[in-house]
Amino acid sequence: MVPVGGGFAGRNPVAPHLANLYATFMKKHLFPLTILALAGCGERVNAPSLLPRAIEKQATTTPPIPAPVNVAAITPALQSQVAQLLARVKAGDSSFSKADRDSNRLILAGRRAAEGSESWVAGQQAQSVLEAARQDSAAALAEIETLLLAQTQAASADAALGGVPELTAAEAEASAIVERQTARLQELTR
């Protein structure tokens, strides 16, 4: 018995799950295979091969290590100047350490005191003494850095000039001292 209105007219007489299975098969398998098959139909591209080239098949050897470049020695005058500047940095560090011991208690008491009080003023003065003691080392470091810059520029123009390694080492030593002083000062004034 056929239902009124045509019954199966416009409907697929195949079970709906078979229609879904067919659509899934087309999407997953047949469509990608068609694309792959058509990809081979295009024009041939004249691209380079991905195979190793002849030069890449040869055994590799390491190039010879060049002879070390003779670094010019530092002049006695420059050596003396570097030694004097480092001595100034170390003397400034000694002054800073003494000022730190003397002003430590006053700075800490001033931090806890009310602004404008006698303890606060004494703490501010002690902090100023400590900052002034730090300036000796910082000024000598600045001179070392200026000298290093000038010597580096001169040595790049004239290979016979030396002293850059010695100045670099002196700058690193002085910089470490000044950075330690700065950190200590910041620790006390926080």
Q: Which domain holds residue 124?
A: 76-189
pLDDT for 4 equals 53
Express the helix, strand and coil content of the chain in percent, nearest 5 each. 70, 0, 30
In angstroms, the Cα distances linking 115 to 104, 124, 127 are 18, 10, 15
Structural domain includes residue 156: yes
Lowest mean pLDDT, pick from 12-21, 53-62, 73-82, 180-189:
12-21
Closest CA to 164 of 67, 100, 73, 95: 73
Task: Tell me whether residue 32 is in a domain.
Answer: no
Residue 23 domain-assigned (yes or no): no
- What is the domain count for the chain? 1
Of residues 188 and 12, more confidently modeled: 188
